[in-house]
A and B are shown apart, each in its own frame.
Chain A
Amino acid sequence: MTNNILLNILLLAPLTSALLIFLLNISRRYTKQTLYTLLALSGSGLSAMIALYISYTSYFEQKLFVSNLFTWLNIGDFTIEVTLKADALSSFMLLFVAPVSFLIHIYATGYMDKDKSYGRFFTYFNLFIFFMFLLVLADNPIIMFVGWEGVGLISYLLIGFYFDDIQNTYAGNKAFIVNRVGDFGFLSALMLLFVEIGHGGFSYDAIFFNLSLIDTPMLSLIALLLFVGAMGKSAQLPLFVWLPDAMAGPTPVSALIHAATMVTAGIYMVARFAPLYNIASDVSLFIAYIGGLSALFAAIVATRQYDIKKILAYSTISQLGFMFMALGVGAYSTALFHMFTHAFFKGLLFMGAGAIIVAFGHKQDIRELRGIRRSVPTIFIMMLIGSLTISAIPPLSAFFSKDAIMGILYASDHLDLFFIALLSSLFTVFYMFRMIFVLFFSENTTEPSKNSVKSMNYPMAILTLLSVFAGMLNLPEIFGGNLMMSSWLDLADKHFVFSHANEIFLMSVNTILICFILYYAYKRYAYKDTILKESTTGLVANKFYIDALYQLIIVKPLYALSFFFDRKISHDLIDTSINSMALNYKKLGKLFAFFENGNVRFYALYMLIGLVLGFIYLFLLLKAML
């Protein structure tokens, strides 16, 4: 029974602050906003510091933190322990989840300033960190599932945060329902795992130890179902539809939950089950193709979006697709590295978008926000750096992570995947700089309605620095690095032979192409009104009609079915039958009430009938005796 106090504090600090904020929020109507801020920041800040310490010791001393909290279930031989375990992978997740959460907390104090639901927001936000830590630190898939559902719940609550507008609630419902599909897959996979090897314990170690006991088709099925879960959570085709709508929530939510942390839970899960996916290679390939399609699809759709947050949302889907491609070919640590850098630059981009939205009175359409470079110069610089990073310009961090993915794809002999990735990457550059050029390079000027808030700028500055330098953590050999992160994580990576000459060639070609696209985007959008002339019809502008398709083949029939069950089954059949039953009982009661009419003569009649019947009985008895 090991019990590491640091891990417990790490997990419980956000939960405690969430509880305190919640209690304050429901008990006292006019609590000072400062008090909420203090509580929220202390909870997330404490856990961020501990997380950094844990990752530090895990990296340099290979120390394993384990904390056995309590036994949750104990049924016969089957036990579920609530155990927190910070191995290399979990520590790595903590390394970016906790600091990014903390930074976005600081940012949110500025973004949510003077909001009437300030306390409620930070209750959810801190609770989210708790569930995310639970997901990451869980020692067995069941506890991970608890965290998984928890972050899904918080995501739902925060998407529909401004529930005054029914559209936000619909978006929250959509996210929740689409995630249910994924969770169904995850849960089914867990059940199958339990049926197959549940007797040997259910911690990750036990599961991976017993993997050989499962026959191949079943293993593939489990792997596939697990991936369905990841698909829902990480918004991959075909379960991506909720993520663009999820942008209805406040921007810090989009930054933290729908860009940096929660949506990467799918990546984390697949990486966590790396030994499983190494055996189920067909499923892995399927994952790679789904990732590739998502990456390309989302990148194409993003080129015709106008909502600044939706562009970023599609960009997130696209980047997650990149990660899944890497996961699919077995380069788990490469995928995780991209997730790591992605958390920083996507968080930064979202925060920049949020800052712009706040500064310009909650406008989100880039056509209405043109030429704002002079108004918000700091945001411009940081957004530009973020966009350059996501476009993989050397030597920014995403250059290393994305090129690593491309290199792996090339080396793994999946050239089709490689070209998909290349194309998506170029589209990424295009849509990002379309946004940048429209927003910042235009003769038109839009005046800000509000000065930028300092508490929003500092975390953005830190994230900018991180986006620039995070690539150093996993420098490839050709730049004199030694892939320290990959060796730290020590995952069951597949290794591909890949000559340095090829690598340099690929990088150069890639960079040249990116620069070319950048120039094209500049020509097309900077200081021009091209954006206003784009037609809003056509396949791309309508997101390939995927939403309409879902509406047609899933939502409409479901509505019809629900309507049928409501009207016909529930109302006509069940209600009517129950009502008629009650009515018949009433009639039956009336029938007997007719006999009990209160008239003594009738009672005498009944007595007479009883008397006569008794007499007949006695007489028959007497006859029988004689």
Chain B
Amino acid sequence: MENEIVFSVLAVVAVVSAIVMISAHRPIDSALSFIVTLISVAALFGLVNATFLFVVQIIIYAGAILTLILFIIMFLNIKDENLPEEKYKNRWLLVTSILILPFSVILINLILGSDIAVNSVINENLGTIKDVGLTLFSQWILPFELVSILLLVALVGSVTLSKRKD
């Protein structure tokens, strides 16, 4: 029962802050409200015993990526006149919401109507570092290595992009 209450609160916070994120005029507002979304999502991870992912989400997303975004925003020193005008922002938001509505409604409808099991398997260890690590290094070793290459490529790419003089 507590779980449900906590979930509801976190879900509402996540959705509201996400909406604020996409509708805020200044990127700094967006970034700050996005941190709220990310933290609530991390909390939702924790709610289903995904402790490792909870930590990773906090450290990487909220800690690293969002900090990077904030840093960039400050680094670029974006003033109001540099921001796009977005005269029809609200109209655009409305139109896209209406467009996306059938998609979400149908999916939600399908999920509500389906008979997927609820907590069919109970595994106390699920989501711990040990469990995830075992799975990662046994079944997912090749993708793991590939991801390391991807990260290397991204590193090199971002350095070359930033260093280019023109």
Contact = CB atoms under 8 A, between A and B. Distances in A.
Interaction A to B: yes
Contact of A608 (B96, B106, B110): B96
B100 A608 contact: yes
A609 B99 CA distance: 7
Contact of B106 (A605, A609, A616): A616
Interface string B95-119: 0100110110011001000000000
Contact of A616 (B96, B100, B102, B110): B102
Contact of B99 (A608, A619, A622): A608
A612 B96 contact: no
Contacts of A622: 110
A616 B110 CA distance: 12
Chain A interface residue bracket vs B: under 10
Contacts of A609: 99
Contacts of B110: 619, 622
A475 B141 CA distance: 128
Interface string B68-105: 00000000000000000000000000001001101100
B102 A615 contact: yes
A612 to B, nearest CB: 5
B89 to A, nearest CB: 12
A616 B109 CA distance: 12
Chain B interface residue bracket vs A: under 10
Nearest to B101: A612
B103 A605 contact: no
Interface in A301-360: none
B100 A605 contact: no
A615 B106 contact: yes
Nearest to B98: A612
A615 B103 contact: yes
Nearest to A608: B99
A254 to B, nearest CB: 84
A611 interface: yes
Contacts of A608: 96, 99-100
B96 A619 contact: no
Nearest to A626: B113
Contacts of B107: 615
Contacts of A605: 96, 99
Contacts of A616: 102, 106
B12 to A, nearest CB: 26
Contacts of B103: 611-612, 615
A608, A609, A616, A619: which has the most chain B beta carbons within 10 Å? A619
Contacts of B96: 605, 608
Contacts of A611: 103
Nearest to A601: B92
B96, B100, B106, B110: which has the most chain A beta carbons within 10 Å? B106
Interface string A606-624: 0011011001100100100
A608, A611, A612: which has the most chain B beta carbons within 10 Å? A612
Interface string A384-422: 000000000000000000000000000000000000000
B112 to A, nearest CB: 14
A305 B85 CA distance: 91
Contacts of A619: 106, 110
Contacts of B102: 612, 615-616
Nearest to B109: A619
Interface in A590-616: 605, 608-609, 611-612, 615-616
A199 B14 CA distance: 97
A615 B103 CA distance: 6
Nearest to A614: B103
Contacts of B100: 608, 612
A605 B99 CA distance: 9
B139 to A, nearest CB: 32
A611 B96 CA distance: 13
A605 B102 CA distance: 15
Nearest to A622: B110
A369 B20 CA distance: 111
A616 B107 CA distance: 10
Contacts of A612: 99-100, 102-103
Interface of A: 605, 608-609, 611-612, 615-616, 619, 622
Given A605-B96, A615-B102, A615-B103, 16 more contacts: A605-B99, A608-B96, A608-B99, A608-B100, A609-B99, A612-B99, A612-B100, A612-B102, A612-B103, A615-B106, A615-B107, A616-B102, A616-B106, A619-B106, A619-B110, A622-B110
Interface of B: 96, 99-100, 102-103, 106-107, 110
6 contacts: A605-B99, A608-B100, A609-B99, A611-B103, A615-B106, A616-B102
List the 8 shortest-distance A-B pairs measured between CB atoms, nearest first.
A619-B106, A612-B103, A615-B103, A612-B102, A616-B102, A615-B106, A608-B99, A612-B99
